[in-house]
Amino acid sequence: MVLPTDYALAVENLTVSFDGFKAVDAVSLYVDKGELRVVIGPNGAGKTTLLDLICGKTRPTSGSIQFLNRELSSMAEQKIVRNGVGRKFQTPSIYPKLTVFENLEVSFPKGRGVWGSLFFSRSEEVKSRILEVAKEIYLDEDLDTEAEILSHGQKQWLEIGMLLIANPQLILLDEPVAGMSVSERKKTAELLRRISQGRSVVVIEHDMNFVREIADKVTVMHQGKVLAEGSMDKVENDEKVIEVYLGH
Ligand SMILES: Nc1ncnc2c1ncn2[C@@H]1O[C@H](COP(=O)(O)OP(=O)(O)O)[C@@H](O)[C@H]1O
Ligand SMILES: [Mg+2]
């Protein structure tokens, strides 16, 4: 039996086996509310698969995933979203022909605001939330811009905004700054620090300078397992980590 914990996210003994190959192998991981956790490790370490398991895209072979004391490991993917988990994949999934405003609008969760609609119109509620999020993601002056003409970095921010609209309590991001310019990276670091306040964020990242800038704690994965965990200073001086990841 897995006991409820005080952590927002408690992953315990999580394993997934693809034809006998354990891509994630007995991983345990605990993330607090308000914490920004970064997961690093060499290619093929199982980082993306770990996020796939948490958001319900892939089913674990064994182990548990508790989020705010709800068990996610057998929950349908859409229900996991409704329970406050937002996932951004490596390839952007914005609607290129829609404007920034419209992209945020279509991401507004349906069926919300039932009570609010008694007092003011739903469209006002949606609009004010869109403006709030657009400001957070540095796109409040681009609301009428078609998504396809945004810069690469702005597209990534828009996709983060499409998650934020629903105010998820856990956000999972796979390599959010890949391909971004230096100034976009800086603004993304600020954005991630800001959105981790009051919720939990798990980020997969390779750029060690960026990791140092954003991480509360770092988890290092290797061959499906957790190799090391702790502050950036701790993990970058860990001999096992240097050997398999940082040393080359
Ligand atoms: N659906 C799948 N079927 C078979 N093997 C998979 C599947 N998904 C991932 N893998 C394998 O699991 C390992 C971990 O992959 P991944 O989680 O993408 O690593 P990372 O994101 O750390 O680079 C890789 O060897 C990959 O080929
Ligand atoms: Mg990956």
Q: What residue ranges do the domains of the chain occupy? A: 92-165
**Is any ligand 1 atom within 6 A of the Cβ of residue 47?**
yes
Q: What is the 8-class DSSP label of residue 247? A: T
Residue whose CA is closest, atom 1 of ligand 1?
Answer: 18
- What confidence score (pLDDT) does residue 2 get? 55
R_g of the chain computed on alpha carbons: 19
Contact 200, 37 (CB under 8 A): yes
Picking from 241, 246, 177, 239, the residue whose alpha carbon sits closest to that of residue 205 is 177
**Distance, CA 60 to ligand 1 centroid (Å)?**
13
**Distance, CA 177 to ligand 2 centroid (Å)?**
13
Q: Which residues of 208-237 are buried (b: 16+ CB within 10 A; e: fewer)?
A: eebbebbbbbbbbbbebebbbbeebeebbe
Contact 136, 191 (CB under 8 A): yes
| Residue 102: count of CB within 10 angstroms of its CB | 16
Residue whose CA is closest, atom 11 of ligand 1?
Answer: 23
One pLDDT digit (tens) per residue for the chain, 248 residues: 555 557 899 999 999 999 999 999 999 999 999 999 999 999 999 999 999 999 999 999 999 999 998 999 999 999 999 999 999 876 768 999 999 999 999 998 876 555 454 555 668 889 999 999 999 999 999 999 999 999 999 999 999 999 999 999 999 999 999 999 999 999 999 999 999 999 999 999 988 999 999 999 999 999 999 999 999 999 999 999 999 988 76
- Look at the block and give the residue holding tokens 């022909």: 97
- What confidence score (pLDDT) does residue 121 get? 63
- What confidence score (pLDDT) does residue 133 get? 98
Residue 45 Cα: closest atom of ligand 1: 22
Sheet with 70-71, strands from edge to edge, namely 21-31, 9-18, 62-67, 70-71
